[in-house]
Amino acid sequence: MKRGTTPLLKFKTPYKASFIDHGYATISRKGDVFMEIPFSDDRISVQDGFILVSLSQEDTLKFNSRATYSVQLRIVLRGGVAVASNIITMPIGSILKNGVI
């Protein structure tokens, strides 16, 4: 992922949208929470066996291009079963001109 872009993070899931009660996507750096997006946020959608997390230019401009970040989904299904995705690491690429375009 590069700073100042609008990436779509795509997670494959066996759960239909109707089975998911709530959850969130967490992005961390060095073990500290950097960004947390609840499933109630418009940036997250569930469709066709995937959970999609859309990041804005403003979101990605907050990242440090010399760092690596981790992302994980945690979900509570109807009935109270809690599940978590594997943790994925994301190196961040730099851009030449800073700011929103």
Confidence at 48, pLDDT banded by 50, 70, 90: confident
- In the chain, the amino acid numbered 56 is S
pLDDT digits (tens, 9 = 90+) for 52-63: 999 999 999 999
**C-alpha–C-alpha distance, residues 74 and 82, integer Å:** 7
Is 8-88 a CATH 2.60.40 domain?
yes
Q: What's residue 89's pLDDT?
A: 96
Whole-model pTM: value is 0.90
- Helices then strands, counting H and E runs in the chain, come out as 1, 8
Asked if 93 contacts 2 with a C-beta cutoff of 8 angstroms, the reply is yes
In this structure, the number of other CB atoms found within 10 A of the CB of residue 57 comes to 13
Q: What's residue 79's pLDDT?
A: 94
The mean pLDDT of 4-10, rounded to a whole number, is: 97
Residue 81: which residues within 8 A CB-CB, separation 6 or more? none
Q: What angle do CA 55, 56, 60 make, to 5 degrees?
A: 80
- 28: enclosing H helix or E strand: strand 20-29
